[in-house]
Structure 1
């Protein structure tokens, strides 16, 4: 009887009404497509760190969020950062708060790569901190941070923005900030696949947000500019700078990230801490890192007790810290990377050693990776040698970073490819789609069944080791869970598209010839709901197919008695 979807007439009416609502412009909607707000954090002699200013003024931050931003916007006193310092942090949003980006969020995330999608539950903070001697201040120092808060993980872009606006703000204060925010409110929306020109303070920042279908690691497209131009990559971290003292352990670090293991990065400054954590998270791109990660974490953080408790195993999180107090507090964590100032051994960076966790006891703990972890795969010695040789020959760091990124990307893609092939085998065949029946189900993922496919369709890399053991461990990680949920959702959408195509290809009017009025009305409502869902969720179905379905619906309605036609036209 064509019963592939159950829908009430009332639901259909409500859905149509929702779609026909006029789109009222929202104040600061363009600004909020990029930023949540801009904050100025200063040091108050009585209060300590305090928010001096939030712009736009009507932005609603909870007290908990304000407190977190205050503490995360200043380097720890142990860091001793004089002059200008840039770093980033990530904080959990308060429960129950609403996004200020409204409907744009889903539209952007549908097209953006998973590693560049807008976050629903976290804010990213990008900090420009200045500490200089000032005799007019009681403490003898001027200490202030300009902080850009966003749901977008565009590290390089927002740090480039701060390099343009922060020095000017420290000279001219609030009027300058108001001007900048009004300029940002004129920016075009972040649209993946387009090159965007973002003017601010006489400079045009030019960026390209890649779309899901583009090759990872593509470079921004340059266009001639009449104004001063700055081409800013979104997240172009100098991974070689972050990893130069741990290059011989790149394989271990990649595996720890792939498996979502709890990791602490102890660094000499928030800059090194945040850059290293973000470089680690990006090491498994294009796979999304699905654990929590904090590029810079302090003892004042609201999650401090949650992450330092010894009553349960450490959570799947990467913490970037600078306070030596964490050495004692996080001793129970299974993987700790202790970074110091870079030391050279001749013309090469001195490589840190892997050490036993038992040696992590004193505040003057030496640099090293403290872990008992044994890699599943062997090191690629030829690749490490190539990178070290590049340092000796003074190969530009951008080139070295590109070589390292390509290597990590190929390793991740090689790991994921067998999983993708297996998923494809779980999809129902297109010929099994009937316009008159509920679409067939996607088969369940079987780990054992997948393992049997590895012999014929395993990773194509020549890297030797226990690939089977790595996959089994991966299945227990948050990254597998996140990847599978996302892919299952996409596959479900694909099945819906195939079913819709089968419906559009069917002769619906002929089917109605020997059916009762009740059955025809039921079919009409279901077809409308199907059409509405396709447009609302922007299913990748050709517009002419949807138009053909709309025409079929009208033809079916016109064959009914006038009273039913009138009723259906009101729906």
Structure 2
């Protein structure tokens, strides 16, 4: 391990350990404008994101109603302590939480399995009372953390203490199984078992008792629950919960049903996150040259972003049809928390850089496709001179890129050289002579099979 190379964000690495080797792919850096292909999921319906294969349904089966609150906690970057009976269960739960916000790249520090031997434990344990806990997601099995990290405002307990059971029961010990699941036949999860369809005095008392006891009650008995001071905005989507399938008591069917349920949940939270991020679209929208216009002018800059203007504009427009059905009246507070949280700026900078990169690519492609002679025939004399200067500027830039080994730049250079000569040929004679007085420009124009008036004389003089 000591001989392992330094970690490289966004790159696959092979790490030798004994006679074997670990093949890992670290998350990309926050300023990386795009996802590396190796991190793209095999399923095209699932967007780029970390841990897209995590078993979300199995990890949070007993807390399905809380998934929307957990989604918000992850979006705004709240600190979360995940408690589970075993390392695999807490690691799977942390991975599931991180994957919940795809395609938003989670930028908060997360530890799938955190122990007291971690170097950061001493720092976290030394936080004074009232001091804000840093944005982190910690997966733990040691219940000592419930006392040592008591300042963490959000605690979620997941998993089953029975190592031989893959079934995860909901809070209260009731199974989600439906009547169809008695003989191992798959059936729909009943919402009344999730305490969402009707009021239950017993359920209310249990909820009050659980909140009063706090997460320290896990010291005596493990139960799946969420303790949080966070006031959520998003409402659980019953239409999604109604589509989930229960495998009954059949372990054989359990795995296949989990795949189906994960797909349902991921599609929903993908849609939820995408719609939540949609209002930022105008600040990331690329433009292309309009038909008949010159692609040799500088592309327009992306619109500047100001948080206050964004929030005011969003308040005037409203949440939109999708979000308005799923969020409470305080939905604007969620955007404010997101803008102030640790996830927004890394995500926005990354998408902004990707948009700028894509816009440069589109305009570059437009320059490759333009019919220069047709374009120049439509321009005035002054516009032709401006176009010549612009083509020269882009050519010099591509020539610089070609020196770094960019193969595409070589092809672009050849196209731009031809465009430069074509633009030069339609300029007035006196302007041609003036332009050729620059030795570097004269050398740039040299190489055409056609004779350019005055070019040979200028080049021969500059070469002496």
TM-score bracket, normalised by the shorter chain, equals 0.5 to 0.7
SS in 1 for 2:85: coil
The answer to whether the 8 Å contact 2:59/2:93 transfers is yes
Superimposed CA distance per residue, residues 207-237 of structure 1 (whole angstroms, 9 cap, x where no aligned partner): x94599x54269xxxxxxxxxxxxxx98422
Instruction: Tell me what 1:14 maps to.
Output: none
CA drift of 1:318 comes to 0.7
Instruction: Tell me what 2:349 maps to.
Output: 485
The answer to whether the 8 Å contact 2:61/2:169 transfers is no
The separation in 1 between residues aligned to 2:275 and 2:382, in whole angstroms, is: 54
Check if 1:275 corresponds to 2:149.
Answer: no
Instruction: Tell me what 2:67 maps to.
Output: 250
Q: Out of 465, 470, 477, which is 2:334 matched to?
A: 470
Superimposed CA distance per residue, residues 437-487 of structure 1 (whole angstroms, 9 cap, x where no aligned partner): 554332212345444356367252532423322222221222221221112
The answer to whether the 8 Å contact 1:290/1:479 transfers is yes
The answer to whether the 8 Å contact 2:169/2:175 transfers is no
Q: CA, structure 1 residues 502+328, in 2 after alignment: closer, same or farther (shift >3 Å)?
A: same
For residues 199-238 of structure 1, the aligned pairs below 5 Å read 209-210=40-41, 214-216=44-46, 235-238=52-55
For residues 99-114 of structure 1, the aligned pairs below 5 Å read 99=8
Task: Choose between structure 1 and 2: higher helix proportion.
Answer: 2
The answer to whether the 8 Å contact 1:353/1:369 transfers is no
For residues 75-474 of structure 1, the aligned pairs below 5 Å read 97=6, 99=8, 117-118=10-11, 148=22, 150-152=24-26, 192=37, 209-210=40-41, 214-216=44-46, 235-311=52-128, 312-339=131-158, 340-341=160-161, 342-343=168-169, 345=173, 347-348=175-176, 355-356=210-211, 359-361=214-216, 363-364=219-220, 366-367=222-223, 368-387=225-244, 396-420=257-281, 422-423=282-283, 430-431=289-290, 438-451=298-311, 452-453=313-314, 455=317, 458-461=320-323, 462-465=325-328, 466-474=330-338
CA drift of 1:148 comes to 2.3
The separation in 1 between residues aligned to 2:382 and 2:80, in whole angstroms, is: 66
The separation in 1 between residues aligned to 2:16 and 2:221, in whole angstroms, is: 29
The answer to whether the 8 Å contact 2:211/2:227 transfers is yes
CA drift of 1:264 comes to 0.8
The separation in 2 between residues aligned to 1:538 and 1:258, in whole angstroms, is: 38
CA drift of 1:270 comes to 0.9
TM-score after normalising by structure 1: 0.53
Structure 2 unaligned runs (5+)?
Answer: 29-34, 162-167, 178-192, 195-205, 426-431, 447-464
CA drift of 1:243 comes to 0.9
The answer to whether the 8 Å contact 1:557/1:565 transfers is no
SS in 1 for 2:283: helix
Q: CA, structure 1 residues 390+449, in 2 after alignment: closer, same or farther (shift >3 Å)?
A: farther
CA drift of 1:524 comes to 3.8
Superimposed CA distance per residue, residues 276-301 of structure 1 (whole angstroms, 9 cap, x where no aligned partner): 10011001112211111111111122
Q: CA, structure 1 residues 438+235, in 2 after alignment: closer, same or farther (shift >3 Å)?
A: closer
The separation in 1 between residues aligned to 2:238 and 2:415, in whole angstroms, is: 59
SS in 1 for 2:343: helix
Q: CA, structure 1 residues 192+496, in 2 after alignment: closer, same or farther (shift >3 Å)?
A: closer
The separation in 1 between residues aligned to 2:115 and 2:266, in whole angstroms, is: 29
Q: CA, structure 1 residues 428+309, in 2 after alignment: closer, same or farther (shift >3 Å)?
A: farther
Superimposed CA distance per residue, residues 349-398 of structure 1 (whole angstroms, 9 cap, x where no aligned partner): 89796854873447436532121222102222343344375658966222
The answer to whether the 8 Å contact 2:79/2:133 transfers is yes
Q: Out of 407, 415, 420, which is 1:548 matched to?
A: 415
Task: Choose between structure 1 and 2: higher strand proportion.
Answer: 1
The separation in 2 between residues aligned to 1:237 and 1:418, in whole angstroms, is: 28
SS in 1 for 2:259: helix
Instruction: Tell me what 2:397 maps to.
Output: 529
Superimposed CA distance per residue, residues 90-141 of structure 1 (whole angstroms, 9 cap, x where no aligned partner): xxxxxxx474xxxxx8xxxxxxxxxxx548xxx99999xxxxxxxxxxxxxx
The separation in 1 between residues aligned to 2:332 and 2:278, in whole angstroms, is: 14
TM-score after normalising by structure 2: 0.63
Structure exhibiting the larger radius of gyration computed from Cα positions: 2
Q: CA, structure 1 residues 431+498, in 2 after alignment: closer, same or farther (shift >3 Å)?
A: same
Q: CA, structure 1 residues 503+320, in 2 after alignment: closer, same or farther (shift >3 Å)?
A: same
SS in 1 for 2:119: coil
The answer to whether the 8 Å contact 1:356/1:371 transfers is no
The answer to whether the 8 Å contact 2:79/2:135 transfers is yes
| Aligned CA-pair RMSD | 5.0
The separation in 1 between residues aligned to 2:394 and 2:412, in whole angstroms, is: 16
Instruction: Tell me what 1:112 maps to.
Output: none
CA drift of 1:331 comes to 0.5
The separation in 1 between residues aligned to 2:314 and 2:276, in whole angstroms, is: 13
